[in-house]
Amino acid sequence: METRNDSFLDTPDPREAVSALNPYSAPLEGRRKLLRLDFNENTIGPSPLVIQALREISREEISIYPEYSGLTEKLLKNLNKRNPNIQINSSEIGIFNGVDAAINAIFHAYGEDNEVMLTTSPTFGYYTPCAQMRGMSITSIPYEGIDYQYPFKKICKFIIQNNPKILLICNPNNPTGTRLSPERIVEIANLSSKTLVVVDELYEAFTGDSVLPFINFQKTPNLVVLRSLSKTAGLAGLRIGFAIGNYKVINIVNRVTGPYDVNSFAVIAAFAALKDQSYIDSYVNEVLKARNWLTTKFEKHKVKYHIGGGNYFLLWPQSGPIETEEKLKQSGILVRSMDQKINLKGCLRVSIGTIEQMKRFWSTFKLIDKV
């Protein structure tokens, strides 16, 4: 077998923007069997219908390219059942290999050298590398005050003065839980037709304040909404997400993905998960109950915390985030330190699971932090 030598270094230059890139990295390995409160995933797994559908997958299904027909219609049906005011049609929904892939594709299709991506900080970490890959410059406006309010006025002013190419709104925001009302999002989208407003609604199910019932994509074509089956339906490992927007925008974004980027397992699992919407709804309800239970404990024991929308909260342990993260890990519980993020010094982000799981978290945390 040939061994690598120095000539390996003599390769074509990558694009300059890619050479300079700080890739998005997350500590993803070695998480099996632990209580995973570090990535806001569903903590109990998908509906039994999903497991059954995957077990029954045929040899034929595996040997042919995936077929997507009917999936966007099924998603639409579920959305409409939840809110009959949603007026979209299936040509306004694109299917992606997780919302991460949808975000990447949006930047691929719309981002260009020296144009601006506007967002807030701290927020979900994947927007920045996607913008950098395309050579865009990034303006991040910090959340405001001790309760991390959305910097609405500053965002509006920046749009009016600079016409950024893409605005990323994470609603509710990961990790601060900040919620922005649908009316304000529509106001922002109406400021400039030159700005593509991307609303990442990954955690919307936990708050119910989606912009979808307030939007007609014919009238507001510069707005795109992102939804995923990772966090609520428990399909994070299979990778499936949706971009919802004007059919022209969805068509453009679809041009930069491969024809079969979403695999058959993900499609079959998505059909089964959407068939069992009540399983998803009852998981969301359980998380909301656990959220209330925890809040009562924090208040009673005067723990410094912050909870907004989403299935996660911020926590300031007395013994510091790094030490607490490590001690929790030794007890089989994973959480994420946010210490490096702007305005989150000393802080951990903890995902919310079932009440039982939160009881385990609380009793362990109490011992570690001497609450």
Ligand X SMILES: Cc1ncc(COP(=O)(O)O)c(C=O)c1O
**Residue from 76, 99, 233, 250 that binds ligand X (CB under 6 A)?**
99
User: 64-102 burial by CB neighbour count: b if 16+ within 10 A, else e?
Assistant: eebeeeebbebbbeebeebeeebebeeebbbbbbbbbbb
Q: How far is the CB of 169 from ligand X (least distance, A)?
A: 10
Phi, psi of 139 (to 5 degrees): -115, 120
Contacts of 77 (CB under 8 A, 6+ apart): none
3-state secondary structure of 371: coil
Which residue, 177, 98, 111, is CA-closest to 138? Answer: 111
Q: How far is the CB of 202 from ligand X (least distance, A)?
A: 4
Q: How far is the CB of 172 from ligand X (least distance, A)?
A: 9
Nearer to ligand X, 350 or 368 (CB): 350
Q: Check residue 263 for interaction with ligand X (CB under 6 A).
A: no
Which residue, 271, 275, 311, 272, is CA-closest to 290? Answer: 311
Which tokens sit at 125?
């970490």
Q: Check residue 178 for interaction with ligand X (CB under 6 A).
A: no
Task: Give bridge partners of residue 120 from the DSSP assignment.
Answer: 141
Q: How far is the CB of 228 from ligand X (least distance, A)?
A: 3
Q: How far is the CB of 206 from ligand X (least distance, A)?
A: 12
Q: How far is the CB of 123 from ligand X (least distance, A)?
A: 8
**Residue from 79, 155, 170, 211 that binds ligand X (CB under 6 A)?**
170
366-368-369-371 Cα dihedral, nearest 10 degrees: 30
Which residue, 365, 363, 207, 354, is CA-closest to 289? Answer: 354
Per-residue interface string for the shown chain with ligand X, residues 188-207, x marking contact by CB under 6 A: ------------x-x-----
Closest residue (Cβ) to ligand X? 98
Q: Check residue 228 for interaction with ligand X (CB under 6 A).
A: yes
Nearer to ligand X, 140 or 331 (CB): 140
Q: Check residue 236 for interaction with ligand X (CB under 6 A).
A: yes
Site size toward ligand X, by CB under 6 A: 14
The footprint of ligand X on residues 4-23 (CB under 6 A) is none
Contact 201, 172 (CB under 8 A): no
**Residue from 47, 176, 230, 232 that binds ligand X (CB under 6 A)?**
230
Interface residues with ligand X (CB under 6 A)? 39-40, 98-100, 124, 170, 174, 200, 202, 228, 230, 236, 241
